[in-house]
Structure 1
Amino acid sequence: MKLVLDEEQRQLRDAVRDFLRTASPLPKVRDGYDPQVYARLNGELGLSGLIIPEEYGGAGAGMAELAVALEETGAALLPGPFLATAFATIALTGTPDKELLAAIAEGRITATLARDTLDHDGATVRGTPAQVLSGMEADVLVAPARSGEEMVLVAVELARPGVTRTALETLDLTRGQARVALEGAPARVLGPAPQAGDRLCVALAAEQLGVMRAALDAIVAYAKIRVAFGRYIGSYQGVKHKLADMHAKLEQAESIVRYAAWAADESPDDLPEAAALAQAYVGRACFEVARDHLLLHGGVGFTWEHDAHLYYKRAKADEVLLGPPRIHRARLAQLLEL
């Protein structure tokens, strides 16, 4: 078991962190998705091809490295389709398609994954995924589909006829979702539908870990400079205890995410329990840390101009993205035969 980053992973973390600090600072997040930042993210760092095998033009890295990258993009509240494309790539690595994987690795296309099952008639698909992550920005939709008695993975080009996309009003202002109606849209069958749910849980937990870390760092910094009743608020026992509780949640979450990423790469038999634990614990812990970080800012934290609400909204949106924590707790209990 490996819970500590190695030298190469630390270098990856530092490179992504430094890039996002300059290319996508927090004030810019409010402007939404910037295709130029996404192009640089892929051109300079090659992040979209991180877990794509080298034979398809990727880096051939594992979930542990993807988790490092997602932790940093989560901390920076990076807008746009990076997480959505990571989800699609995870599914595609289970059912490899040279054309799509090469295009994603080169940064030529962005992709997203629908979790709803479509109907496939041999050439086209029908169905209406209700909440597709980054559905308005993505070029290709990857989705499971029922073809006769088989479950297959299909790819749909979202600019083709038969596709209607409607932007949804979402809680998270930094990353949108869309309703995608498919009525006879041309689709290409990629192969059998893979079981990718556990790896998706690990990827999302890694982003949530980054949100937690950034929120805690922000409120600790604020507690050192904000004066109330003639004292720094960080000197008050109530604030110190709350910050300590938030730090404890972060430390537990980091261990859980590192273990789940290790299991995804090295111990598939342990992955189902590790993935269920990651979403059962990290999802809720991330929201609680973001919530308390907002509350400890006091009145200023509730203002539109402050960044605290951006972390709060990302944390809540992520908490329910793959189902609420109670679903993952129930699955974990079932896996452990409790």
Structure 2
Amino acid sequence: MSDLLYSEVEDDLRAGVRGMLDDKAPWGEVLAGTERDEPYDAALWGAVAVRLGCAGLPVPEELGGAGATWREAAVVMEELGRAVAPVPFLTSAVLATAALLAAGERELLAEVASGDRIAVLAVPLSTAPGGPATGAVRAADGTLTGRVGSVADGAAADVLLVPAPDGLYAVDAAAAERTPVTSLDMTRRLCDLTFSAAPARRVAGGTAAVEAALTTGAALLASEQLGLAERCLDLTVAHLKTRYQFGRPVGSYQGLKHRLADLWTAITQARAVARYAVACVADGDPDTAVAVAVAQAHCSAVAVQAAEECVQMHGGIGFTWEHPAHLYLKRAKSDAIALGTPDRHRAALAVLLDLPPA
């Protein structure tokens, strides 16, 4: 049985990341960033990736990484979800890194682990583990031609990892035409990629590297959803303790207490399934596929529930642009689609467990 408790190292890492985010990514700065044209917060990414060394947590030390595991990376994901941080950690330090680790690509992996380059797996954000990921891109004579839509952080990438029918290719991002698209979550922006005979280098054959990346990404996305849900609960409880109506704190009303108790229970369950999923990924456990499907099916719904309760229980201010609740709701809704919807993961779980059709 995997140990689901946080280690002392993980607690120290959390404290460092949270302190840095509280200092450099208060919600006012995050909100202001959604109104700028920059695809991500470069200064914040430098602090997370380089100064704290989080870009290469699961990468071996001989390749410039920290030599840690995906468990430590999941702690960072929790804190980034808590802050709704506009940095390409999921896309570069998780998805692309997992693909490069599975492919055995050393040189590019070292550059990504050091934070010198941002790599992005060029698949639609909604792509789930086990789903088709090659899209309409074709390889011929060392070049790629085709299009991939709705790629998260594609505009922030220095290098694109593009799945094709015969393997995974690395492409200089400058060789692709990148068209921004309207994104629900402006802290994780999407763009369409078009390749027209773009020079490419194959880094892996087959689909194993892409599948490993999607599975790892889905597992760690559950940790981001966990951190987001916990933050929404904290904000809501703090507000209900200080907001008065009819001469008493709003939080003293039994109906609201019951809703918060139900939410706390769901978040506690989410923590267990998210921690188990990332432990399975870190250990290469044969139960990984089941654990990831359970985590995504549960944590997606919990994050959305927590964000919706945060908006509603803040009353009128919760519906305004001047309050951070909408940032959490948009990230929660976006995350519920990312790397497979809850329904998609429940369907996958039914197949994995050989459940009879309803």
CA distance in 1, matches of 2:169, 2:285: 25
Give the equivalent residue in structure 1 for 2:146: 127
Q: Percent identity?
A: 42
1:189-216 superposed Cα distances (whole Å, 9 cap, x missing partner): 1022322122111011111111111111
The amino acid of 2:74's aligned partner reads A
Aligned residues of 2:180 and 2:192 also touching (Cα < 8 A): yes
CA distance in 2, matches of 1:20, 1:213: 16
Give the equivalent residue in structure 2 for 1:76: 83
Aligned residues of 1:80 and 1:137 also touching (Cα < 8 A): no
Alignment of 1:1-338 (within 5 A): 1-32=2-33, 33-85=40-92, 86-115=94-123, 116-117=133-134, 118-147=137-166, 152-160=167-175, 163-192=176-205, 193=207, 194=209, 195-196=211-212, 197-338=214-355
TM-score of the superposed pair, with normalisation by structure 2: 0.90
Q: How many residue pairs end up in the alignment?
A: 332
The amino acid of 2:84's aligned partner reads L
1:273-313 superposed Cα distances (whole Å, 9 cap, x missing partner): 00010111111111111111111111111111111111000
Task: Flag structure 1 segments of 5+ consecutive residues without an equivalent.
Answer: none
SS in 2 for 1:143: strand
1:48-86 superposed Cα distances (whole Å, 9 cap, x missing partner): 111112221101211111111100011011003121112
CA distance in 1, matches of 2:32, 2:108: 29
CA distance in 2, matches of 1:128, 1:334: 31
Aligned residues of 2:58 and 2:70 also touching (Cα < 8 A): yes
SS in 1 for 2:154: coil
SS in 1 for 2:307: helix
1:215-244 superposed Cα distances (whole Å, 9 cap, x missing partner): 111101101101111111100011101111
CA distance in 1, matches of 2:247, 2:63: 61
TM-score of the superposed pair, with normalisation by structure 1: 0.96
1:127-169 superposed Cα distances (whole Å, 9 cap, x missing partner): 211111011111111122113xxxx111111112xx1101111
Aligned residues of 2:233 and 2:310 also touching (Cα < 8 A): yes
Structure 1 ranges of 4+ moved more than 4 A: none
SS in 2 for 1:238: helix
TM-align CA RMSD: 1.2
CA distance in 2, matches of 1:129, 1:51: 28
Task: Flag structure 2 segments of 5+ consecutive residues without an equivalent.
Answer: 34-39, 124-132
Aligned residues of 2:122 and 2:154 also touching (Cα < 8 A): no
Aligned residues of 2:44 and 2:87 also touching (Cα < 8 A): no
